[in-house]
Chains A and B, each alone.
Chain A
């Protein structure tokens, strides 16, 4: 356990989490709170460990929906941003459209997607992608635009074709912004997946929460919520790991590299 001895931050996180769970358990027992109102963490843990297959399956389904939605959001988000930056006409057209549609509460579209795409995985993926795409487009557009004008002049002076400017300068330059958008996007995609499962579904952690509410099975709902937060955290860190791996040159990572 190298990180335990070396990382003070890691130790602090574990300590705070344990403290929170401990207080929760203690409060439940001291004040005799009824389980269906706020189940103690011990009963939630028992619930999960008694049904590992069930929770594993439901978690995997939600992870799958989230990942698909997020992947679509990245593809469409970065693609749209490139289109917006490449052409003035597309800029006015798409950007206006995006801002306008961003003001629509996207969660409200979930039932419509069910009408369009049925009750399978598709509407859930669509909602996840729709919610996640906005931070990615906005951040990527900003990043693609934030290029030193001298850099563009340098490329033009060498008569570089436009796609070189995009691929060799703008896109790598935008990577930190793309990741900033992706980190928000991955959390949004998970929210989208849950909303999708709420609206129509017979699978996934969102569906588990909804059905346990109907039967006042609070330990089950809390088990799903805790699994969701664990999934959200892990997904976020996976994106961050990709960032570290892809951007060793970025300012935010130089000090860490120099210290090694």
Chain B
């Protein structure tokens, strides 16, 4: 196991030395102005993500992980430092990027298929060109019989699957997921974890996955970024050397347990969780 302590001096580089990072977060700080005392949300965050890499960010609530995602998505400006996506300075949402939020934010008045095609409309593309792709994606995700149903007729897991299809329909290179399975029950969550791992394995999208579930983070990622709070910062980046594809049973493997207990120890030393 190889682990690195990320500080302002050491830069966590992408996994492959030959390819340039797809996402480059360089010394990013972010503070919200609350009158006299600006609250520092992110302090000196540096992170490179290689093309096709799966990164999980795990951390307690309030560690700024969602803020970091929104900065990478170009939805919020950084206070200092810079973020590059595909060698372009992120000042607005970059092209070829899609987001999945914790809440599915499906539109109640659109059918499942129309919700997926919403992305196509937003991007000014022709619906007709994407209808087949959207239908096929939804069918792959077990929603083939629900194309013309409304979101409220679906279960939580199905709704989140539809939200994932909506992100995938325009075939983004970069997929940002902000605690996408946080509101689901444990069994549905396991299902969606497996599906996401398969999806990533098949498509090799550059994927940034935010969660507060340690097991989920380790199961999915090539590297797990452990964040601490007050102020939000990267505490450690841990390489996960578990072969792919990963069946759900790898969670019982001793190797898997070593990673998760290392992260738990780390949180304990950071004072995030109590160490009995």
A-to-B contact residues, CB < 8 Å? 148, 150-151, 153-161, 164, 168-169, 172-173, 175, 247, 249-251, 254
Contact = CB atoms under 8 A, between A and B. Distances in A.
A153 B93 CA distance: 10
Nearest to B102: A150
Contacts of A150: 101, 103, 105
Chain B contact surface mostly: loop
Interface stretch (B4-12, B36-44, B119-127, B228-236): B119-127
Contacts, number: 59
A250 B99 contact: no
- Ranked 3 nearest A-B pairs via Cβ: A160-B122, A158-B122, A249-B109
A174 to B, nearest CB: 11
Interface residues of B, number: 25
B134 to A, nearest CB: 14
A201 to B, nearest CB: 42
B147 interface: no
A7 to B, nearest CB: 26
A249 B75 contact: no
A236 B92 CA distance: 46
A213 to B, nearest CB: 49
A222 B73 CA distance: 66
Contacts of A172: 107, 109
B87 interface: no
A156 B75 contact: yes
Contact of A154 (B74, B99, B109, B124): B99
A249 B153 CA distance: 10
B27 interface: no
A159 B92 CA distance: 9
B88 interface: no
A175 to B, nearest CB: 8
B13 interface: no
B241 interface: no
28 contacts: A148-B103, A151-B107, A153-B101, A154-B99, A154-B101, A155-B122, A157-B75, A157-B93, A157-B97, A157-B99, A158-B98, A158-B123, A158-B170, A159-B92, A159-B95, A159-B122, A159-B123, A160-B122, A161-B124, A164-B121, A164-B122, A168-B121, A168-B122, A169-B107, A172-B109, A173-B107, A250-B108, A254-B152
